[in-house]
Homo-oligomer: A and B are copies of this chain.
Amino acid sequence: MLDATSSYKPMDSRIPMADRTGHRIVPETTRRTDRFPGTRYGNRPTMKDVAARAGVGLKTVSRVVNGEPGVTPETERRVQEAIEALGFRRNDSARVLRKGRTASIGLVLEDLADPFYGPLSRAVEEVARAHGALLINGSSAEDADREQELVLALCARRVDGLVVIPAGDDHRYLEPEIKAGVATVFVDRPAGHIDADVVVSDNFGGACDGVRHLIAHGHRRIGFIGDMPRIHTAAERLRGYRTAMEDAGIPVADAWMSLGVTDPERVRRAAREMLSGPEPVTAIFTGNNRVTVTVIRVLAEHARPVALVGFDDIELADLLQPGVTVVAQDAAALGRTAAERLFRQLDGTLIAPERIELPTRLITRGSGELPPAD
Residue of B nearest to A316 (CB): B316
In the assembled complex, which residues on chain B have CB atoms less than 8 Å from the CB atom of A293? 315-316
Q: Is the CB of A5 within 8 A of B131?
A: yes
In the assembled complex, which residues on chain B have CB atoms less than 8 Å from the CB atom of A114? 118
In the assembled complex, which residues on chain B have CB atoms less than 8 Å from the CB atom of A136? 104, 134-137
Q: Which of B44, B133, B181 contacts A42 (CB 8 A)?
A: B181
A153 part of interface (Cβ distance < 8 Å): yes
Rounded to whole angstroms, the CA-CA distance of A186 and B325 in the bound complex is 40
**Given the interface contacts A33-B181, A316-B314, does A92 sit within 8 Å of B158 by beta carbon?**
yes
A2 part of interface (Cβ distance < 8 Å): yes
Q: Is the CB of B8 within 8 A of A131?
A: yes
- What is the total number of copies of this protein in its complex? 2
Residue interface bits A318-344, CB-to-B below 8 A is 1, else 0: 011100000000001000000000010
**Given the interface contacts A7-B347, A135-B137, does A93 sit within 8 Å of B315 by beta carbon?**
no
Specify which of A3, A112, A152, A297 lies most central, judged by the most chain B CB atoms within 10 Å of its CB: A112
Rounded to whole angstroms, the CA-CA distance of A52 and B189 in the bound complex is 40
Residue of B nearest to A155 (CB): B89
A243 part of interface (Cβ distance < 8 Å): no
Instruction: Kindly provide the distance from the CB of A295 to the nearest chain B CB, expressed in whole angstroms.
Output: 11
Q: Is the CB of B180 within 8 A of A43?
A: yes
Report the stretch among A54-62, A94-102, A209-217, A276-284 that lies at the interface: A94-102
A300 part of interface (Cβ distance < 8 Å): yes
A70 part of interface (Cβ distance < 8 Å): no
Q: Is the CB of B121 within 8 A of A137?
A: yes
In the assembled complex, which residues on chain B have CB atoms less than 8 Å from the CB atom of A348? 29, 31-32
A117 part of interface (Cβ distance < 8 Å): yes
Instruction: Kindly provide the distance from the CB of A126 to the nearest chain B CB, expressed in whole angstroms.
Output: 8
Rounded to whole angstroms, the CA-CA distance of A176 and B319 in the bound complex is 50
A361 part of interface (Cβ distance < 8 Å): no
A130 part of interface (Cβ distance < 8 Å): yes
A358 part of interface (Cβ distance < 8 Å): no
* Nearest 5 A/B pairs, CB to CB: A87-B176, A6-B132, A11-B100, A41-B181, A113-B122
A-B contact pairs, 9 of them (CB 8 A): A6-B132, A6-B133, A8-B343, A39-B180, A42-B101, A44-B181, A91-B156, A113-B121, A296-B319
